[in-house]
């Protein structure tokens, strides 16, 4: 398995890098936070991303996309991660698009994927119902009626749920909590009667929401895929999401590390740069080694996804685990090495710590993926 980018992927990475530096530096996130922006992302910036074709990277060409693969969108997210760029790209163009690709009927794909590619709608995926991620714990019920389905229950920590136009809701149509089977996916307008959305404030100043769903009436046209048969497809959606998120977390990590190394060179004590102190050099060397290991894990997972490898599930958990461990280490060390100013709002380094603590929990923390990796590997 090759662990290098192709020429086209490298060009995409460079384009994203320049975009992030020019359009969405950390000051962009800071301004959105301070203005208490309702979406927590900028519509004009999103429109520019759409015009660059990023919204359609995972969308087949017949529906208006470029079908450039998970590696393509992951390298974009990695570069956006370096500047903590907030946008609907992950929730809409990774989670939403993959779910519709996996489960949607031809007319649904034509409708929803075409609109996503053009930037006409954004999307969210409503999966989790508790503080710990576990797909089998879905209890939100979907009961068959004469005219369709009626949904009741709740979802928590829905990424971009406070701004999305469309929601993909995972419901239980058979079985009980703890069963992986018996799950069904539905797609609906977030403004539909029966959906109550509450924005959730978080440390990383991004867009999350809790959904309360009471007597939400949906028709058979709102069904994605087959009844009781969404589990395997949603697992693939989540794995794609974990890999793409691991790439973004790698970008967070790399930038936090680079900023800290520069600080070690600039900050002086006793007349010399603090980077000349051997103890700090050892800690920096450890961070560097962990980052290099994370790069390999993320690249292997991206390639496995694009090659439809049977190792994709295992490598997605490895990538999310390693990215979480490394980002946790580097964000902590970055704050420590900056000293007291590291925890002040004046310096950007604190934003990386805040993003780390939230990203680590999305779609399974390190403990979840350590356990999942061992199960898949037969330990």
Q: How far apart are alpha carbons 70 and 94 in whole angstroms?
A: 8
Q: Is the fold of 7-121 the same as that of 124-229?
A: no
pLDDT attached to residue 3: 74
How confident is the model over 60-77, as pLDDT tens digits? 999 999 999 999 999 999
- The CATH code belonging to domain 124-229 is 2.40.110.10
| For the chain, percent of residues with pLDDT exceeding 90 | 98
Averaged confidence pLDDT in the chain:
97
User: Which sequence spans correspond to the domains of the chain?
Assistant: 7-121, 124-229, 232-376
pTM over 0.95: yes
pLDDT attached to residue 24: 98
pLDDT attached to residue 143: 97
How confident is the model over 303-338, as pLDDT tens digits? 999 999 999 999 999 999 999 999 999 999 999 999
What would be the CATH architecture of the domain defined by 232-376? Up-down Bundle (1.20)
- The CATH code belonging to domain 7-121 is 1.10.540.10
């Amino acid at each position: 398995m090759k662990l290098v980018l192709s020429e086209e992927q490298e060009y995409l990475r460079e384009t994203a890098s320049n975009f992030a530096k020019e359009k969405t530096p950390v000051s962009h996130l800071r301004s959105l936070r301070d203005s208490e922006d309702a979406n927590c992302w900028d519509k004009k910036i999103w429109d520019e991303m759409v015009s660059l074709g990023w919204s359609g990277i995972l969308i087949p060409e017949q529906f208006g996309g470029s079908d450039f693969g998970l590696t393509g969108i992951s390298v974009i997210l990695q570069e956006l991660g370096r500047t903590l760029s907030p946008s609907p790209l992950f929730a809409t163009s990774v989670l939403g698009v993959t779910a519709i690709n996996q489960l949607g009927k031809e007319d649904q794909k034509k409708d929803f994927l075409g609109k996503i590619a053009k930037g006409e709608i954004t999307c969210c995926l409503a999966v989790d119902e508790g503080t710990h991620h576990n797909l089998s714990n879905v209890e939100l019920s979907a009961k068959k009626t004469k005219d369709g389905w009626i949904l009741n229950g709740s979802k928590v920590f829905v990424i971009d749920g406070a701004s999305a136009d469309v929601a993909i809701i995972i419901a239980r149509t058979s079985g009980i909590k703890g069963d992986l089977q018996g799950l069904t996916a539905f797609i609906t307008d977030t403004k539909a009667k029966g959906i109550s959305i509450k924005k959730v404030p978080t440390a990383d100043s991004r867009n999350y929401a809790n959904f309360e769903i009471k007597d939400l009436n949906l028709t058979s046209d709102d069904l994605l895929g087959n009844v009781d048969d969404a589990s395997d497809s949603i697992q693939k959606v989540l794995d794609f999401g974990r890999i793409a998120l691991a790439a973004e977390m790698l970008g967070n990590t790399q930038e936090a590390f680079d900023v800290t190394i520069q600080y070690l060179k600039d900050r002086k004590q006793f007349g010399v740069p603090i980077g000349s102190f051997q103890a700090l050099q050892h800690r920096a060397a450890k961070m560097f080694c962990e980052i290099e290991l994370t790069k390999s894990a993320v690249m292997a997972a991206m390639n496995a996804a694009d090659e439809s490898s049977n190792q994709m599930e295992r490598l997605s958990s490895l990538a999310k685990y390693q990215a979480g461990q490394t980002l946790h280490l580097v964000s902590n060390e970055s704050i420590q090495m900056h000293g007291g100013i590291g925890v002040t709002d004046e310096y950007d380094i604190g934003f990386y710590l805040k993003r780390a603590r939230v990203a680590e929990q999305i779609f399974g923390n390190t403990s979840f993926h350590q356990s999942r990796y061992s199960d898949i590997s037969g330990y």
